[in-house]
Structure formats: structure tokens, C-alpha cells
Amino acid sequence: MIRTWQLSNAGRSLVLASRDDRLPEIVYWGAALPEGEDLAALAQAVVPDVTGGMLDRVPELSICPEESRTFPAEPGLIARDGAARPLRPAFRFVREERRPGRLTLAFRDAALGLGYRAHFALDGDTGLVAARAAVDSDRPIMVHWLAAPVFPGPQLADEMLEFSGRWIGEFQIEASPWRPGQRARDNHTGRSGHEHFPGLILPARGATKTRGETWAFHYGWSGGHRMVAEELPDGRRQIQFGHASGSETRAAAHFETATLFAAFSQAGSNGCAVAFQRHLRARAPQARRPVHYNCWEAVYFDHALDELKEIAARAARLGAERFVLDDGWFGRRDDDSSSLGDWTVDPRKYPDGLGPLVDHVRGLGMEFGLWFEPEMVNRASDLARARPEWLLGPEDQIEGRQQRVLDMANPAVRDHLFRAIDAVLSDHAVSYVKWDHNRVLPHADAAQTRGLYDLLDRLGTAHPGVEFESCASGGGRIDFGILERTGRVWLSDSNDALERLRIQHDAALFLPPGVTGSHVGPRICHTSGRVIDIRTRAWVAAQRHMGFEMDPRELTEEEADVLSEVTAWWKSNRDWRMGADILRLESADPAVIAEMQLAGDGSRFVLFAGQAVTSAQILPRPLRLTGLDPAARYCLRLITARDLPRLSRGAPALKSGPVTFSGQALMGQGVSLPWTFPERLHVIEGERL
């Protein structure tokens, strides 16, 4: 007997089929099937043949592949009972729950006393599938590995793209070929991490950023994920995502995965990126993003009230609308060796508390934001001295930034942190919290992440007017789990505009402009030593949620003018841009990193073309646009024309004034950019006529 289920929405269909009440397989995930498709026939059609050297039947590649079916590859569940005996369930169908766009399926292995549930939702706006799985047991068990519902990998595909990275070098795309066996990633750092952003992109053969079928996945969990992309001996391919293996460290009767988001596109990786971006846009507070000023790279731990007031006044004159007081305001925090955990204002630096600075900042018309690193503690702190038993991991562990981690699974720790942070937020007009996390955990522990989520949820409920930002030495904790609780991420500690240009471009595969923080750094970049022109620094920050992070007293008059102008441009365009899709452009020249931001209604766009390094050839290659209506006409204006160097001696049309072309011409032929220096950006505004 075959049971089938179908979810169809937003031009996509997901079909599951179960035979003889066993766990179902995803038998179709792609462009919408026509009405009336015979799903049972579809399920029948995908049943593989059998030949010599095989079992007599091919085991199902189900949503939780079972060892009990002699599945010849990674199973979806690895668990043991109380006596450490392996549990190899054979689940059978129990019930279904169908609601528009949603499906829940429940299964049980009565002999083992185990239940398995899978939830699927196909979003009508974004076309994203959100899938998660849960296991329930009659008795406590240990779970080493539980995959979110397992998807088949595409067959007509040669490579997969995943993400590695490092501090000041986040979102590095790694391409690996599909080969027999596993491509696996198991992140035991206890956070989503610079090194392992939990995403996977599977382009069909020939697909690019703008064209072709592409599937993409993101696991929305902040505690470190495991991914298995595996080609089975019979050629089938499976995609598994779950918490890092072994990160469920306690016996329990209930386990669940985080949400696995799955995207499908016929417009290359951009189609998947737009789905992910729209998902975050729909839930993050996008309206009127204020321009930030963050004092970290201006003063570090040297907080002097008069200086900070002067800096705030200058930042406000440049256009800042929110002032964030970074690390150094609490305990006796003169460097990074002490005081994490002691969340009371340092009376040496702020004898009258934070009130005078908060009042000054608000008097300048800016909001006030404050830095915390709640999950961490220095041994040189009152908290660690009073509560040594609250510190996670062995006494002789290797520290990170001279700090340790609090045991967030302990409700007493969370209560203490809630009270301490709540007191600061209640006593001051703080509307923003930058929530940092500057070291990996001593060991991966899913309970730690659940504890973090619980604390953030409590604080969010108690302070609905406060927005939270996720930072972890830059982009060390970026994922849709933390972004359910935070409205912005600090993408990277690199304020080097060139590095940032690349990081922002690749992070746009998942992140929309409004949640991606980007600041204008000091003239001499603190993490690369490079000196970058203020125009480049300002325009790169203006691509995303803009802010400043240099000491404004270092700016020349000309630099301040450029920054004020670009900031004014950012403000006058933010309303439509925070609802725009970022479309990464295919650049014929590897020296150029380019993107369009296209308004939701298609009426306008802005194009950023970054000349990251000197090109190999002497002249720019035309840049092809994307996402436009081929039949419509668009007027394009190069708003950075007056910044062009004298060495641009010719007369490409864009240089001298607006040009008008059809969408087809812009997408088919492209625009000819003027020659420019390396490390400069062209900014082009486009309007549909």
C-alpha cells in the first residue's frame, strides 16, 4: 500500500510517499507539479531496480533512513537505550495532520517504545520548506545523532557548495565534487561558528548565480551542526542536517532537531538567496533601521566620559542615529582579562552611572545601545569567585580570550543573568543590546544553546522595545535560530572594506540588507593595516545596515563630507532598500564583485560594482544585470561618476548622464562600466520607466 502527501505553494511542490506504512521518502522536491499529478504513480516510478551484488530490494532513502532496513549509508537516527544497547527502530505509520501548507506525520516502533514525528511547512511567500523531526521514547535514551527530515540530493549535479571561514574571513564558499561516499561537516565548537556556517547549495549542472535549477539548505541552529551529503553505493544521494553529533549529552525521553530550511530555485542560487532573505525580512524589525555608531574601534576599553560625549556629538553630526557603547563599561574591565560576569557599571569610569552618557546621547537625538557578553565569565570576576561551580568544562581547560563559559543549562545561571541584564535595561533608556560570544565552548552541548535561547526569549519578553544583535567575534554565530531572537548580526570583525565587500557578497546567499551590520572603519584598518579610501569604506557599509566605527575625530573635512553624503543617500533610500532582494551578479571579470538590490515591486534598483583588485585585462567587461522585466525600460544613473579618476579618459554612455535600456538589453548585453582604480565602487541607480 502506498500513502502519498503533497505540499504545493509558491510555485514549488514537495511530495512524500510511504510504502507499507514505513517512513516516507521525499519523492519529489522542485518546481510545482501540475494539478492532478498521479502521486502514487510518481512514487512507483522512483523505485530503483535491483541487480547482482545487491540486496533483494533497495532500502528506502526515507526521511529518517533506518539501519533496520539495512540502509547502506548514514542512518537518520543513532541512539542507545539505558543499557547502552543500540536502538534500531522500524517505524510504522500512526497518524497524519494536514493543514494548508503544513504536514505532520507520526510513526511508532511499539516494540522499542519509540515515536518519530516529522513536520513540514511550505511557505506561501518565500517557497521555503521548513522541516524538523522529533523522537519520543517511553524510557530515557541517549541520542548520538538525529537528522532533520532527510532530503534526496539532485542527480544532475556535479558539485556542492558549502561554507567555511575564520575570524575576519567569514562565509568562504567551498566547492566539492559529488563523489561516492560522504562529504561531512561536524561542528563541535558549540556555536554556528566562523568556520562552519550551516548552509549547503546544490546547483544543477550548469547553474550559475542567476540561472538554472538550484537547491539550498540552511540548518537554523546556533550550537553547531552536522551535515552529511552522501552518495550511496547505488548512486542515490542524501542530505542530512542535525545538531553536532554527540551534542545531546544527557539521557532523555524527548529529542528534536532545529528547523532545516530547504529552498528550490529555477533562477540559480539567487532564487534560493531571495527565499532565505525574504524569510528573515518577514520576521526581523526592518522598518527604519537607524544608522549606527559603535565606539569599539575608537576607544576599546578606554572609556572616558568626556571623550565619549565628544565622539557621540560628532557621530550624530555625521548622521548616526544609534550610539552603541561597546565592551569596557562594567566591572573593572580595562582589558580582556577580567570582569565578564560582573554586569554592573564601573564607577571609576562612570562615577554617576551610565545616566549622563545615555542622556547626552539621547539629547543628540540618538538611541542608546549597550554591549554584553552574558554567556561568558573571566576567572578574575566577582561572579567566578562566588560561583565557581557555574563554569562549564574542566578546571585545566584551555581558555579563549582569557575567559570561560557559564553553564547555560543551569536555570540558576540563567536566572542570575536575567536579573543582572534586566536591571541594567530597566534602569537606563537602552533600546539595543549587542550580544557577544567570543570563544568556542569547551565541548559541544545542545543544552547550552537551549539555555541561551531561553534567556534571550525571557529578556525579549520583558523588554519588547529592545532590539538584540548577534555577535561572536564578528560572524561566529549567524544562523536562523539566533535570528529568531535577534534583528541584526555583526557579520565580521573585519572593517576592511575590501574584505567586507566579499564577505557581504557571499553572506547575501542567506542574509538580507537589513539584518547585516556593516560599519565604516578607521582610515588604517585595524585588522588588515590597509588604508582604504573613505568613498570605498562608506559605500561598502552603505550596501547593508550602515554604521560607523572609527573615531570620528580622525576624519578630515573631506572625509567627513563624503561620509555625511553617503549616509544621507543611505537614509533617503533605506525604506525601499530594506525590503529589497539582493541579487548577486555574474561578473565576467573576477576582479569585480557586483550585486543589485531590487525593490520588492521591481520599480527601482541600485547596483554596486566593486573593483576589488586590478583587472587582468585593460578595460572593464560589460556587467549583465538580472531580475528585470525584459520588456520594460529602465533609466540608469551612475551616481559615483564624479569620483572617477582622470585615467578614465573615454566616453562610456554611463559616465556623462542617465542611459535608458530595455530589461532585455541590460540582462542580455549588460552595461559598460567606466575604468576605475582598484578598491573603488561604482554605484548605479536604476528606475523602471
In terms of CB distance, is 402 or 672 closer to ligand DGJ?
402
Considering only residues 353-372, where is the footprint of ligand DGJ by CB under 6 A? 371
Alpha helices (H) in 248-348, listed in sequence order: 268-283, 296-299, 305-318
Among 438, 449, 486, 543, interactor with ligand DGJ by CB under 6 A: 438
DSSP assignment letter at 204: P
Minimal distance in Å, beta carbon 440 to ligand DGJ? 14
Does the annotation count 436 as an active-site position?
A: yes
Beta bridge partners of 682: 609
Minimal distance in Å, beta carbon 494 to ligand DGJ? 10
In terms of CB distance, is 258 or 511 closer to ligand DGJ?
511
Strands (E), 550-617: 581-584, 592-598, 604-611
What SS3 class is residue 288? Answer: coil
- Phi first, then psi: what are they for 468, rounded to 5°? -110, 145
The pairing of strands 545-548 and 292-294 is parallel
Minimal distance in Å, beta carbon 180 to ligand DGJ? 41
In terms of CB distance, is 220 or 474 closer to ligand DGJ?
474
Torsion of CA 60, 61, 64, 65, to 10 degrees: 70
C-alpha cell, 689: 520607466
Minimal distance in Å, beta carbon 296 to ligand DGJ? 5
Minimal distance in Å, beta carbon 300 to ligand DGJ? 8
Q: Which of 123, 326, 346, 493 is catalytic?
A: 493
User: If you search the block for the grid coordinates 556535479, which residue do you land on?
Assistant: 158
160's CB contacts (< 8 A; 6+ apart) are 153, 175, 176, 178, 183, 200, 201, 202, 229
Determine if 170 is a binding residue for ligand DGJ (CB under 6 A): no
Determine if 435 is a binding residue for ligand DGJ (CB under 6 A): no
Determine if 436 is a binding residue for ligand DGJ (CB under 6 A): yes
Interatomic CA distance for residues 587 and 625, integer angstroms: 10
Task: Judge contact between 574 and 289, C-beta under 8 A.
Answer: yes
**Piece of 69-77, 184-192, 312-320, 466-474 that binds ligand DGJ (CB under 6 A):** 466-474
Q: Which of 327, 342, 436, 496 is catalytic?
A: 436
User: If you search the block for the grid coordinates 576582479, which residue do you land on?
Assistant: 591
Determine if 490 is a binding residue for ligand DGJ (CB under 6 A): yes
Nearest to 392 by CA among 343, 447, 441, 338: 441
When CB distances to ligand DGJ are compared, the closest residue is 327
Does the annotation count 493 as an active-site position?
A: yes
Determine if 551 is a binding residue for ligand DGJ (CB under 6 A): no
C-alpha cell, 543: 550596501
Among 62, 222, 339, 473, interactor with ligand DGJ by CB under 6 A: 473
Among 89, 220, 319, 474, interactor with ligand DGJ by CB under 6 A: 474
Determine if 471 is a binding residue for ligand DGJ (CB under 6 A): yes
C-alpha cell, 52: 547482482
In terms of CB distance, is 207 or 406 closer to ligand DGJ?
406
Beta bridge partners of 606: 597, 685
Considering only residues 324-353, where is the footprint of ligand DGJ by CB under 6 A? 326-327
In terms of CB distance, is 225 or 477 closer to ligand DGJ?
477
Among 74, 170, 469, 493, interactor with ligand DGJ by CB under 6 A: 493
Q: Is 373 exposed, middle or buried (0-12, 13-18, 19+ CB in 10 A)?
A: buried
**Piece of 54-62, 469-477, 623-631, 653-661 that binds ligand DGJ (CB under 6 A):** 469-477
Active-site positions read: 436, 493
Which residue ranges make up the site for ligand DGJ (CB under 6 A)? Answer: 296, 326-327, 371, 436, 438, 471, 473-474, 490, 493
